[in-house]
């Protein structure tokens, strides 16, 4: 009996923890699995205006708009960002540097899984052109 109670409590606590982990990041809601069970981050083929611009607006332009230009970096157009994608710098600052590096982007925070996947797909597309 004791065991049963303990197990129930443990699984209830486990469920609460699991649930908190899930709701802390509601990408499941934004990107529900499609009919094949895939969790995709965007519709159709990768597109700068539709898929990258919203991430820039939310995560990058507070520092890299023309009026800010932190680190001397202004991201005003697709071409501005594509130049960093072609040189390999974008991949480096987003994915390769440790969080402790001052060049790690965005500084002090992690992009969501979908934002990372979307950036990766766009960088690959730019480099395949
Ligand atoms: C809080 C402000 C801030 C945010 C938000 C931010 N950056 Fe930066 N970014 C900087 C600063 C400051 C530098 C210069 C870092 C250095 O050289 O030490 C920089 C540098 C860069 C560089 C040039 C790196 C190099 O060494 O040549 C790129 C590319 C870049 N950021 C892209 C991005 C992208 C893409 C995002 C959004 C995902 C982003 N940044 C978000 C502040 C920011």
- Nearest CA among 67, 86, 88, 66 for reference residue 77: 66
CA of 36 to the centre of ligand 1 (A): 37
Atom of ligand 1 nearest to the CA of 108: 1
CA 125 to each of CA 3, 49, 84: distance values in angstroms, whole numbers, following the listed order: 56, 14, 13
pLDDT in tens, 44-95: 999 999 999 999 999 999 999 999 999 999 999 999 999 999 999 999 999 9
Q: Which one, of 97, 113, 121, 108, lies nearest residue 63 by Cα?
A: 108
Position 100 pLDDT exceeds 80: yes
Ligand 1, atom 24: nearest CA belongs to which residue? 103
CB distance 91 to 123 below 8 Å: yes
pLDDT for residue 40: 86
Cα 63 to Cα 66: distance, rounded to the nearest angstrom:
9
Mean pLDDT calculated for residue range 90-105: 97
95 ligand 1 Cβ < 6 A? no
């Amino acid at each position: 009996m004791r065991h049963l109670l303990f197990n129930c409590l443990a699984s209830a606590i486990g469920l609460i923890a699991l649930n908190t982990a899930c709701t802390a990041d509601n990408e499941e809601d934004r990107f529900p699995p499609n009919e094949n069970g895939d969790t995709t981050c965007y519709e159709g083929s990768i597109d700068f205006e539709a898929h990258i611009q919203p991430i820039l607006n939310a995560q990058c332009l507070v520092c890299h708009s023309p009026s800010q230009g932190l680190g001397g970096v202004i991201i005003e157009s697709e071409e501005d960002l594509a130049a960093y994608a072609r040189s390999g710098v974008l991949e480096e600052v987003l994915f390769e540097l440790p969080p402790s590096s001052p060049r790690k982007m965005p500084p002090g925070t992690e992009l969501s899984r979908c934002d990372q996947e979307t950036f990766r797909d766009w960088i690959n597309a730019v480099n395949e052109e």
